[in-house]
Each structure stands twice: as C-alpha cells, then as structure tokens.
Structure 1
Amino acid sequence: MSLLNVGARALLANQVALQTAGNNIANVNTPGYSRQTVVLQTVQGQFTGGGYIGQGVDVQTILRNQSELLTRQSAAAGSVQSGDIVRAERLRQLQDVFSGGATGLGAAINDMMNAFSDVVSAPTDITARTLVLTRIDETASRMRAAAERVDEIEYTVNEQLQSSITAINSLAGQIAAVNEQIARAKGNGQTPNDLLDHRDQLIREVNQYVQTTQIPADDGTVGLFVGGSQPLVLGTTASQVSVDDASQFPGSGQLKLFFNRPGAPAIEVDENMLGGGSVSGLLRFNNTDLSESRNLLGRMAMAIGMTMNEQHNLGLTLDGQMGKDLFSLPTSMPGLTNGAGVGTVTFSDPTKFAASDYEIRFTTGTAGQVVRLSDGKATAFTDAANLATLDIDGLTFNLTTPGAPGERMLFQPFSSAGANINALVYSPRDLAAANPINAAMGTTNGGTLQLAGLKATDTLVAPPIPGGVTLTFTAGPPTTYAVNGSTTPPSGTAGIPYTSGSTITIDGWEIKLQGTPKTGDTVRVGNALDPQYGDNYTRNAGNATSLMNLRDVKMFDESTLADGYAGLMAQVGTRTQSATFAAELSTTIAANLERDRTAVSGVNLDEEAAKLIQYQQAYQASAKMLQIAQSVFDTLIQGLTR
C-alpha cells in the first residue's frame, strides 16, 4: 500500500505542476500576471527498524514569483512617466498656439508696425491709412484668437482631469473590494495569488493617474496614500477625490485636488505634493504653464496697446482732432481676496511689465509685502498710502480696504487682457498721423540749424498760443538759447546750453536740432492748427513716424516691441523642450524598471515549455509507479489465494 500511496501522491503533485505551467502559458499576455511556481515538499518518512522509509511528495503551496521592491519601483516610475508625458503633450499644444510664420501673431505685429511707413511717406493717402487700421484690427484679432485657443486647451485639460478623477474613484473602490477578498482568503493559510496580481495591477493603473504610497497591513490588505498622508484606500474603505477651484482664491483659474471623506471636511492637496501621475501633470500644466502663457500674451497685449494708445493720443487726425485710443484695454483690475481686503491694480509703465501674477500678503497692521509669484521677489510697504506710491513692475496697487494680518490678495493684471483686446479706430481719417505742433526756422537765420526731429511726448501743458514758442540762439561760445512763450521752462528763460543733436524738451513736446546757429537765429514752434500754418498738418506724418519707431522700444525683458513675440515663443518653446526631455528620461527609467520587474514576474514560454516536458515525464513515471504497485498487489493476492 505504501508504494501505491507514494505513486498517487506523485501523480497528483505532478498534475498540479502541469496545471500550474499550463496556467502560466495561458496568462503569458495577461497584464499584471505574475508567474507561479509549484513548491513541493517531502512527506514525513515512516520509521522502521531499518530506518525511515519515504512516503512520497505533497504540494506545499503555489508560489507567486514577484519582487515587492521592483513592483513598487515600477509603479512609481510609471506614475512619473505618465505625469511627464501628459504635461509634455499639452505644452506641445500650447507651443502650436504661439507658432511663427506668416499666420502667427508675431507676423501680424510686425506687419502692423511696418504699415506705418506708407503713411509716413504719404500722410494723406487714404489707402495707406486704411491698411494701417486693417493691420491693427488683424493684430487684435490674432491676440483674441490665441487667447481663445488657450481657453480651449484649458477646457480639454479640465475634461481630462474630470475623466481621470472618475477613473481614480472607480479604481480605489475596486482596490478596497479586492482588499476585502484578500483578507477573507488569508484565513485559509494560503496566499491568493490571482487576487494579489489583480490588486497590484489595479495599483499600477491608479498610479497612472496619481502616485500612491502602499503600506501593507497584517490582515493582508494594502493602504494607498496620496501626497504622503492622505488615505485613498484604507483597508476596505475608499475615499472619493475631486478637482475644483483652489480654496484660497476661487475664480483665479487655479485647480487643486480634494479628498472627500464621509463626515469630514474636504482636504486640499497641492499639486507639488502629488509626485507623478497624469492628474499631477495636468494640474501643474494648468496652474503654471497655462497661467504663464496667459500672462505672456496679456502682457504683450497691454504693453503694445498702451504704448500705441499713448502715442496715438498725442497726434492729430485729418480732421484736426486729437487722436483717440487705438485699442480697448482695461485701466484697472480688481484683486481676489481670502479676507477683508479690497483693492485694484492699475497700469502705469508698459516698458516695465513682468508676465506674472502678484500677491499682497499682510503681515502686521496694514503693512505687508507685494510678492511677484513668478520668481518670489517681494516689495515691502508700510500701509495703503505707501503702497499707492510704489511703482512695482510698471503697476500701481491701490487698496480701498486693507486686509488683516495673515490675509492675502491675488492680482492677475494680465490674465484676460489678450482675450478682451479690440481695435477702436476704423475710419482712415481718424488715424492721428500728424504732430500737434509745427516748427519753422527763422527766415533770417544765418547759421546751419536744421530740424532733426519734432514730436509730442505728453499731453501738451498748454497748446502753443498763436505765435508759438520761440527759441532765440546766441552763438557764444558757449552756444545758448532763450525761450519765450513757454510754460516749462518759464517764458523768458535765457542762457540754456545748446548741443547739436541733443533733445530739447518743452511743454510736453521734444525738438531735436542739428547744426551751428548764429546769434539771433530763431526756431518757432507753434500749434499745428494755428491758422498761420493752414492745412499743413494734413501733410505732416510726425506722429506716424513716432508710432512706427515704437517697434524699437525695449519693453519685454529688454526685448523690443518687434522682438517681443520671439521672446514669448522662446519661453514657451524652452518649457516645452524641457518637459519633452523629462518625459523621455522618465519613459526610459520606467521601461528599465518594468523590464526588471517582468524578469522576475513575467512568463518565459521557453522555460514553461521545458517544465511541461519535465512534469509530463514525472507524471508518466508516477503513473508507471501506480501500475507497478497494482501489479505487485495483484501478484500478492493471487499468491495468497492458492
């Protein structure tokens, strides 16, 4: 009987081994499946006077081949890869918005500025004036189109975030359910391999959306934690997550991940604490990259619009009217508060604008600091009155109601400027191409004085009265001049030094003279609408020249107006290139770790085929052993019956 028992045990053990190898082969392409191996053990031998006689073999367990370390490392690397890839993809979409070429925003800006050259050449040419206004309208249109495309990207990001949140909540519920099954199965003393594989696969899938930390419990369940401490799954209980406006400043466009546990207030998690995962990548893109692109576009719209509006307001139209704004722009933007503070930000110097949002942080009393969020630079102030006197990056912050200590206010001066800019002048006669002032050399001048430039630089303090402002020169040395008819410097001021080619500033206008005067030489500057000049102003293009020359004004981080868009493209392109490199690197790391994991857990078909032959032969030998045992038993019975 012992031989029969040994053969039966061997037959059953090898049958299990064959079945396990077949199961491995069947699941070779099953995601998350870990190769299984039969662990055999010798049955305790029977003691006899001649020693212990073997009793055969039993199946001890079915071993799940896997490395806990490699499994966790692979899941974490896959999570980082997912976050880097989704952010790089979105940045490439953003880069397409700010592309170059003839259809890009940069080409529209350059065409607009270059169109003024035709007006300079022919101030009364209605066609040239119409072309300028068409280019202005096209520039505003392309700025709005770029802002709309940014909004479309934001919409798709929000939709993808909501889809990811739905997937996370579903996977968390499934993991909690599998945890419960594993805890129950653990009671029989054996490891539920397939359930463990299923749970690990679910964990890998949830890590594609948000990176988790796994902590095993004594009952076989695994707790999943996000952001270091927030429990997504705890035993057999799953939390619900959501994405919504940041609680600090609702309506700012900033999104955060929230944990919603029954009976407890929602907990907000910053995206910088999330590590990897597509949700983390999308939140970083929305809160940083998308916000920066809006600020870059808005800063460009505000700077170009304000600069051109200011200059156009200093010129004369064909009908002798002062110019009006070329672009519609906001004059102030309200701040968002998390307390009692109320205030606005106004725009003062477009050449100093920084593409950033700003926070006012109140410290003690009504004192605090203004923080530029793009780089953290802080400017302190003592109270609201002191703050109103500060020029911070070309901006002025005005507080109607200061906040209490510890409160904050968020200002986004440029976020919506690109979406709301519009052209305001459509009639070619309303283009203010002429200077509001005229200049003439004295008819009896004997020197070599020549007019090199004349333009209005500010609203005229007092438009020159009939007869105008007269500059009378004394040859010297040193060469000087006296001013009559002016307000600043006061009329009658004499002995003012003269240098050829230098700029002379009087009453909100500038004149530049070249050459050497003789004593008694004069230059008269008067109101361009003075009857003594007739309609000469209609043939003047001084203000059109000033508008065209704005393209060389530095206003975008030391870049000129004409080169500002190239700088915007470079900033977005650099960020995209960096994100693409990070995605390629994390993909390589994730692939290497997954390869290491599958080297332990994966099924090798050649190896399994060899095991099939081995177990098949062992099974056949076991069957032969039973056959021999039966033959011996039959022979014994026959002998006893004689």
Structure 2
Amino acid sequence: MSNILNIGKSALNAAQIGISTTGHNIANASTPGYTRQVIVQAASQAQNFGYGFVGQGTDITGINRVYNDTLAKQLLNTTSTSSASSAYYNSINEINGLLSDSNAGLSPVMTKFFSAVSAAAANPTDVATRQTVLSSANSLLNRFSAVNNRLDDIRQSLNTQVSASVNTINSYATQISQLNLVIDKAMSTTGNPPNDLMDQRDLLLTKLSEQVKTTVVKQSNGNYDVFIGNGMPLVVGDDTYPLYAQSSYTSPNRLEIAYGDKSTPKIIDSSTLAGGALGGILAFRNETLDTVQNQIGQLAITLATQFNEMQQNGYDLNGTAGVAMFNIPQPQTTSSTNNVDKSKLATATFVPGQSQQLTSSDYTLKYTGGQYNIIRNSDKVVTSSATLPVTVDGIEFNVNTTTPAEGDEYMIRPTQGAASKITLAFDDVEKLALAERVDSNGNVVAFKGAGDNTNGLRLAKLQDAASVRLLGSNANRSYAQAFALMVSAVGTKTNEMMVTSKADASALEGATSAMQSESGVNIDEEAANLLRYQQAYQAAGKMMQIASQLFDVLLQLGQ
C-alpha cells in the first residue's frame, strides 16, 4: 500500500509543481525579458520484485528556461545594429532638414547678396544700392552664423547623449556583474539555475546592446563575460571595466570615450565602439557633423576672403583704395593636453591669395623624429618638414617658440565654427570699392571716377567663379555649386540611412519574433498545460484515495 501511496504522492507533487510553473508563466506573460519555463520530469528508479520491475512514480529533476543561445545572439546583434542606424538617421535627418530648407538654407541669401552686388555695379554712384549690398552682406553673415550655431547645438546635444550613454552602459555593467555573482552562488549552492535571475541578466544584455555592440561568452559556472564594440571587456565575472566620457585631448568641448585604469583612462578611437546608439551617434559626428560644419566654414571663409581681395583691388566712392569688407578669423589651434612642453603653441594663418587651396579638413601638427608632420585628417595625407613655417593647402603652419618635445602635437581647425565668427568690417556705404584700382594684369591704375564699375562687375562675377576646393575632386566649384554638392551628399546619406534603419528595424522585428516564438509565453498553450496538470492532479488524488480505501480493507480483514 505504501508503494501506491508514494507513487500517488509523487504524481500529486509533479502536477502541483507543473501547475505552479504554468501559473508563473501566465503571470509573467507580459514581463519584459521573461523566458518561458518548463518542468523536467523523469520516471523514478523502478524496483525489482522478481517477476519484473515495478515503477515507483516520478521525479522532478529541474525547472528549465526555454532558451535558444543562437536566437539570443541574433537578437543582441540585430538590436545593436538597429539602434546604431536609427541613432545615425535621426541625427542626420535634422541636418538634412536644416540645409535643404529653401527658406533657412544658404543658397537664397548668397543669391540675394550677389544680386545686390550686381545692382550696385550697374549703378555705382547710387547710395541706396550700396546700402543694399551691406544689408545683404549682413543677412548672409547672420544666416551663416545661424546655421553654424544650430550645428553647434547638435554637437552639444551629442555630448549630452554620449555622457548619458556611457553612464547607462556602466550601470548595466554593474548590474550584470552583480547578477553574475548571485547566479554563481545560487548554482554552486543548489546546483539549479535561478531562472528568473538569468532572465534579468539577459534583459540587461539586450538593453546594453541598444547602447553598444555586445558580445557574450558564457563560462562553465554560469557567469557571463561581456565584451563591447570590437572586443573590449566590460564585465568579466563580477569585475567591471567601465567607460568614461572625457574631453578630447585637443578639443575641450568635445566628449570622447576613455577606457582603462580609473586614475588615468585613455581616450580610444571611436571606431572601436561600433554598434548601438553610442556607436551610431559617434559615427554620425565623425562622418557627417564634422564634415558639414567644416564645409560651411570653408564656404564662408572662401567667400569672405575672395570678396575682401577683390574689394582691395578697387577704389571706393571717394577714390580711396578699397579695404577689406569682412573680418575673418584665423584658424583655431589647440595643444594636446598630453604634450610634454605645454608652453609651446602652434600658430596657423591663412596665406593671402591662396584661398582657393583651402580645404574643409582639420589638421594635426606633430613633432616626431626631428620632423614636423602636418597631417590632413580627412585623408591622412602627410606633409613633413625639418623646419617651420611651412605652407599647406593655403595655410601657414608654425610653432611659437623653439623645437617642441618629441611626440608633442597640436590640432588646427581652419574652418570649424568659422561661419559664425565672420563680421562686417565697415558699415560706410562709400567704402564699397566698385571702381577699378588694379587692372587684370595686376597694374595699379588711376581713379576713373565714381561712375567706374569695373571692380563692381568683378565682384559680381565671383558668384560664378570656381572658387571652392572640394577634397577628392579635380576641379574647384562655385559657392552655389559647393553648397549644392554638400546638400546633395547629406541628402543621399540621409536617404541611405533611412533605408538602412528601416531594414535593420525589420531584421530586429524578425529576430524578436523568432525569440518570442521559442521562448515567449503563449497564453493558449499555457491554458492547455494548466488543464492537463489539473487533470493529472485530480487523477493523482484519486489514486491516493483508492490506496487509502485498499488500506482500509486490509485493516478490516485483520480485525
């Protein structure tokens, strides 16, 4: 009788655990990251009675998660890829709207400015048309400044996003390492996996992959070692290796990612942190924002410089030699905070008459092996010289004192931010130099009178001159063409990222669906399981009732 009772008891226990597990699944059907659980059931060891082995009921050997490592890995990868392309697209779409807006863009004000110059050239003695030139010039500068300031706002917003993303990544890393510790302790103590804790850890990994590309290596003790980007350790067991948001060595207003020893973390190349929202915004900043802002600055400086040079080739309304119409800032230079000799500073100046050589690139001046190496950052072309000054791309590079220390370097930004720093040099309409002072052969000629418009016509023709140098192109372009090509490039990249982000989102949806179909809770299926276990429970109870009745019969026979 005890055998029948034990079998019934084991069946009753199995059904009860099945009901509890099924109920747990139903209760967590909408819980983010929850993985469906199933009981693992096996027949108890049968007993040999001579005539055969008689079963002894059932044992519950474990409660497992329905988890597929391959699908989980695919979900992490697609989450990272989708977050990166979405972050890139959202950022570049804002710039695309800014540049392509027919009202807020630069094309209308440039056209209006040169139309005013043409009108003044047609009537050089008219004060009103001269005033229109100055007003249009002021409007042009205001528009350049507005566009540049909006790009600065986007840049500052990216700094905020970088800082927030780094904090989020570090928070997830800490939580994962703590869960590693708890899960390891639970498994070593009980021998059974704590499924709900493992779900929490996997959910944190998914959230981490939204921020940065994430790779997981599972250890034999159940711990996860987590690597980010191109393989940097973030979590190893219960140890974490956090990231830091740190100002660039050569640009205090630019946040970069640092990694390593807490007391002296080193800035790493942003390309090593591909994937996720962090990788997406870093790629956008490096590939698009820097390029566009530099090109806007190049366009503004080139236009202002060439107009100044032509203005200085003429006579003003009073027969006085023309003066510069625009105040133009010189290139920005910053010393690396890692420099040995911080007293030495780099200098950079625009070379007169070489504005057509100006590019949209930043430059690095580095002293190594007894040589000054001027690196054009956009394409890594290097110009080396044993001495300074040296002229590259219309810019004269120098260092303010004696030889720098080995390895010292400086960042030179000729055009970034320049669009908002150019100002009008005068507001006197009579100083507009429309009369010829220097002829086409470079000879100085006498003042021909206030009605002479020769230089005014030359100023107007600057609109269509091939004045702006484009890297990667064999020919210079006009101001309008250069701006149009920039807008076109941004538009093309925006469209590319829109298509990519949609495709990546679709891939993520597919990976999520595949994971859910395997590991997610199906309410209908769980309801069927609940009914099955209920029936098993009732049957087991009936078995124990019968065993009890049989036991009563034996007792009655013994009386």
Query: TM > 0.5 between the two?
Result: yes
Alpha-carbon distance in structure 2 between the residues aligned to 1:301 and 1:147: 10
1:640 lines up with 2:558 in the alignment: yes
Letter in structure 2 aligned against 1:329: I
Q: Is the 8 A contact 1:100 1:106 kept in 2?
A: no
Q: 1:368 Cα shift?
A: 4.5
Residue aligning to 1:608: 526
1:382 lines up with 2:385 in the alignment: yes
Aligned with residue 543 of structure 1, among 448, 455, 459: 455
Provide closer, same or farther for how the CA distance between residues 544 and 230 of structure 1 changes in structure 2, counting only shifts above 3 A.
same
- RMSD over aligned CA atoms reads 2.2
Residue aligning to 1:176: 177
Residue aligning to 1:196: 198
Moved more, 230-239 or 619-628: 230-239
Alpha-carbon distance in structure 2 between the residues aligned to 1:228 and 1:357: 26
Q: 1:194 Cα shift?
A: 0.5
Alpha-carbon distance in structure 1 between the residues aligned to 2:503 and 2:467: 37
Provide closer, same or farther for how the CA distance between residues 16 and 331 of structure 1 changes in structure 2, counting only shifts above 3 A.
closer
Higher share of residues assigned helix: 2
Equivalences for 1:240-639 in 2 at 5 Å? 240-247=242-249, 249-251=250-252, 253-259=253-259, 261=261, 265-337=264-336, 338-339=338-339, 340=341, 342-348=345-351, 349-365=354-370, 367-379=371-383, 381-385=384-388, 388=390, 390=391, 392-400=392-400, 401-436=402-437, 456=439, 505=441, 507=443, 526-528=445-447, 537-556=449-468, 557=470, 558-639=476-557
Partner of 2:329, secondary structure, is coil
Q: 1:267 Cα shift?
A: 3.6
Partner of 2:480, secondary structure, is coil
Residue aligning to 1:468: none
Structure 2: state its 5+ residue gaps: 471-475
Q: Is the 8 A contact 1:559 1:567 kept in 2?
A: no
Alpha-carbon distance in structure 1 between the residues aligned to 2:331 and 2:513: 57
Q: Is the 8 A contact 1:75 1:207 kept in 2?
A: yes
Partner of 2:410, secondary structure, is strand
Residue aligning to 1:157: 158
Alpha-carbon distance in structure 2 between the residues aligned to 1:90 and 1:382: 40
Q: Is the 8 A contact 1:335 1:345 kept in 2?
A: no
Letter in structure 2 aligned against 1:394: G
Partner of 1:14, secondary structure, is helix
Structure with the greater alpha carbon radius of gyration: 1
Q: Is the 8 A contact 1:179 1:221 kept in 2?
A: yes
Q: Is the 8 A contact 1:327 1:422 kept in 2?
A: yes
Letter in structure 2 aligned against 1:136: A
Provide closer, same or farther for how the CA distance between residues 402 and 82 of structure 1 changes in structure 2, counting only shifts above 3 A.
farther
Letter in structure 1 aligned against 2:467: M
Letter in structure 1 aligned against 2:247: D
Letter in structure 2 aligned against 1:280: G
Residue aligning to 1:490: none
Alpha-carbon distance in structure 1 between the residues aligned to 2:277 and 2:331: 37
Alpha-carbon distance in structure 2 between the residues aligned to 1:99 and 1:422: 25
Partner of 1:622, secondary structure, is helix
Provide closer, same or farther for how the CA distance between residues 336 and 555 of structure 1 changes in structure 2, counting only shifts above 3 A.
farther
Q: Is the 8 A contact 2:162 2:255 kept in 1?
A: no
Provide closer, same or farther for how the CA distance between residues 153 and 564 of structure 1 changes in structure 2, counting only shifts above 3 A.
same
TM-score (norm: length of structure 1) = 0.80
Provide closer, same or farther for how the CA distance between residues 275 and 304 of structure 1 changes in structure 2, counting only shifts above 3 A.
same
Alpha-carbon distance in structure 2 between the residues aligned to 1:103 and 1:506: 39
Residue aligning to 1:515: none
Alpha-carbon distance in structure 2 between the residues aligned to 1:549 and 1:80: 49
Q: 1:50 Cα shift?
A: 1.1
1:236 lines up with 2:274 in the alignment: no
Equivalences for 1:60-79 in 2 at 5 Å? 60-79=61-80
Structure 1: state its 5+ residue gaps: 437-454, 458-504, 509-525, 529-535
Deviations 1:421-440 (A, max 9, x none): 1122322222111223xxxx
Provide closer, same or farther for how the CA distance between residues 575 and 354 of structure 1 changes in structure 2, counting only shifts above 3 A.
farther
Partner of 2:315, secondary structure, is coil
Q: 1:168 Cα shift?
A: 1.9
Alpha-carbon distance in structure 1 between the residues aligned to 2:490 and 2:350: 25
Provide closer, same or farther for how the CA distance between residues 579 and 408 of structure 1 changes in structure 2, counting only shifts above 3 A.
farther
Which protein has greater RCO, CA pairs closer than 8 Å, 6+ apart?
A: 2
Q: 1:270 Cα shift?
A: 1.9
Partner of 2:506, secondary structure, is helix
Q: Is the 8 A contact 1:425 1:431 kept in 2?
A: no
Letter in structure 1 aligned against 2:510: N
Residue aligning to 1:460: none
Provide closer, same or farther for how the CA distance between residues 628 and 98 of structure 1 changes in structure 2, counting only shifts above 3 A.
same
Q: Is the 8 A contact 2:159 2:255 kept in 1?
A: no
Q: Is the 8 A contact 2:8 2:544 kept in 1?
A: yes
Alpha-carbon distance in structure 2 between the residues aligned to 1:332 and 1:286: 21
Q: Is the 8 A contact 2:248 2:254 kept in 1?
A: yes
Provide closer, same or farther for how the CA distance between residues 630 and 103 of structure 1 changes in structure 2, counting only shifts above 3 A.
same
- Count residues in correspondence: 544
Q: 1:549 Cα shift?
A: 0.3
Q: Is the 8 A contact 2:229 2:275 kept in 1?
A: no
Q: Is the 8 A contact 2:141 2:420 kept in 1?
A: no
Q: Is the 8 A contact 1:141 1:422 kept in 2?
A: no
Letter in structure 2 aligned against 1:359: T
Q: 1:331 Cα shift?
A: 3.9
Q: 1:139 Cα shift?
A: 0.4
Alpha-carbon distance in structure 1 between the residues aligned to 2:307 and 2:135: 15
Letter in structure 2 aligned against 1:14: A
Q: Is the 8 A contact 1:230 1:259 kept in 2?
A: no
Partner of 2:436, secondary structure, is coil
Alpha-carbon distance in structure 2 between the residues aligned to 1:176 and 1:605: 33
Q: Is the 8 A contact 2:322 2:431 kept in 1?
A: yes
Letter in structure 2 aligned against 1:545: L
Q: Is the 8 A contact 2:311 2:324 kept in 1?
A: yes
Provide closer, same or farther for how the CA distance between residues 182 and 331 of structure 1 changes in structure 2, counting only shifts above 3 A.
closer
Q: 1:229 Cα shift?
A: 4.9
Q: Is the 8 A contact 1:435 1:456 kept in 2?
A: yes
Letter in structure 1 aligned against 2:304: G
Q: Is the 8 A contact 1:144 1:418 kept in 2?
A: yes
Alpha-carbon distance in structure 1 between the residues aligned to 2:186 and 2:535: 33
Q: Is the 8 A contact 1:255 1:286 kept in 2?
A: no
Provide closer, same or farther for how the CA distance between residues 150 and 332 of structure 1 changes in structure 2, counting only shifts above 3 A.
closer
Alpha-carbon distance in structure 2 between the residues aligned to 1:134 and 1:13: 88
Q: Is the 8 A contact 2:362 2:412 kept in 1?
A: yes
Q: 1:402 Cα shift?
A: 4.4
Letter in structure 1 aligned against 2:459: L
Partner of 2:551, secondary structure, is helix
Alpha-carbon distance in structure 2 between the residues aligned to 1:213 and 1:407: 37
Higher share of residues assigned strand: 1
Moved more, 337-346 or 24-33: 337-346
Q: Is the 8 A contact 2:251 2:334 kept in 1?
A: no
